[in-house]
Amino acid sequence: MTLERPNIAAMRGYAPGEQPQDAGTIKLNTNENPYPPSPDVAAALREFDSATLRRYPHPLADEFRQVAAKLHGLSIDNVIPTNGGDELLRLILTTFVAEGETVATTKPSYSLYPVLAAIQGAVLSEIDLDDDWSLPNDLIAQLNALGAKAFILVNPHAPTGRLVDANVVADIASRFEGLVVIDEAYIDFVSPELNHDCVPLLARFDNLLILRTLSKGYSLAGLRFGYGLASPSLAAPVLFKTRDSYNTDAISQRLAAAALGSQDYASNTWERVRESRTNLHAELEAMGLDTLPSQSNFLLSKMPEGVSAQAVYLQLKERGILVRYFDQDRLRDKLRISIGSESENQRLMAALREILKT
């Protein structure tokens, strides 16, 4: 006898990227920041008094919410603190998408979305991207025809790094009848000269929710801290009903506030990643590997005709370099490579040259 709900028994779990715990591996597989978190985070950790842990944390992480609200020019009522961005994604389904209702996303997209839909017993509709990975022209018509309750768009897109303009996001929020979730996990790596910013749209749209995470831009994947930005009416049920009452811990709250308060340091790491992205993109192209321009901290690179991307992934792994291979339509001939430090990128390139020469 199994006690699982039928939808849980039938589903497969999310397969996270490999996380070897040794320091020797060159990890270019899960889009971590190659640079450590801010010295202010290190100081906050050193100064944290473990004796205070005997008490419950602030249930709503108000210190963090104040820092986040100030950073974005919003109020704390707009800010939902979560245990990583993944928790916010789950909470969105729990709060807004009932069993049997439809949640839409693009194909391909972040591979966690289908898993979360399966857990909730929701129907996942994946809308094909165009050949150039742009959104189809009739996206909004498709969403409304599906009767989708929510649409989740990762922007910049994973795994391509393509950025959808804020005007397009506004158009979706304006004409789609459901909830629009913009997963901005990689937003910090967008080139500043694009002046891309969806946060001002929150004042106009009550059905728009923006996800942020400290995992990538703030070098804190190990801390598990993310947050949502939304109108107070949209944020309230997540904040006060569906969120576990103490979903973030006292140390994480403190360190997350320190990280977000340390903008100069963080934006310097983003700039370095962007420079490395430009260099790595040029080198991959120079090797003859078709590589999409990216506004994120990874590149999606097509292996040469007749070369198995999976085999290259495995050969890189043998050399202690991890990249991400997706066994999915349109991706089987490609590898997703996180931007590492300059020396990591050089070691990747040397290994790739060696592997592809033979």
Site string for a second copy, 165-204 (x = CB under 8 A): -------------xx-------------------------
Q: Give dist(CA 13, CA 259) in Å, integer.
A: 31
47 is an interface residue for a second copy by CB under 8 A = no
Contact 216, 187 (CB under 8 A): no
User: What residues between 132 and 151 interact with a second copy by CB under 8 A?
Assistant: 149
Cβ distance to a second copy smaller for residue 99 or 138: 99
Query: Which region among 55-63, 183-191, 274-282, 327-335 touches a second copy (by CB under 8 A)?
Result: 55-63
Cβ distance to a second copy smaller for residue 119 or 168: 119
288 is an interface residue for a second copy by CB under 8 A = no
For residue 50, the tally of other CB atoms under 10 A from its CB is: 8
Amino acid residing at 87: E
Site string for a second copy, 15-44 (x = CB under 8 A): -xx-x-x-----x--x-xxxxxx---xx--
Binding a second copy (rule: CB under 8 A), the pick from 69, 126, 246, 279 is 246
286 is an interface residue for a second copy by CB under 8 A = no
User: What residues between 57 and 96 interact with a second copy by CB under 8 A?
Assistant: 57-59, 83-84, 86-87, 90, 94-96
Measured torsion, CA atoms of residues 133, 134, 137, 140, in degrees rounded to the nearest 10: 100
Cβ distance to a second copy smaller for residue 86 or 183: 86
Binding a second copy (rule: CB under 8 A), the pick from 52, 144, 308, 328 is 52
340 is an interface residue for a second copy by CB under 8 A = no
Query: Is the preceding peptide bond at 232 cis, omega within 30 degrees of 0?
Result: no
317 is an interface residue for a second copy by CB under 8 A = no
Contact 70, 257 (CB under 8 A): no
> Three-state SS for 9?
helix
> Three-state SS for 27?
strand
User: What residues between 200 and 229 interact with a second copy by CB under 8 A?
Assistant: 207, 215, 219-224
CA distances from 282 to 56, 191, 246, 272, 348 (A): 50, 17, 46, 16, 14
Q: Give dist(CA 252, CA 80) in Å, integer.
A: 14
**150 phi and psi, to 5 degrees?**
-150, 150
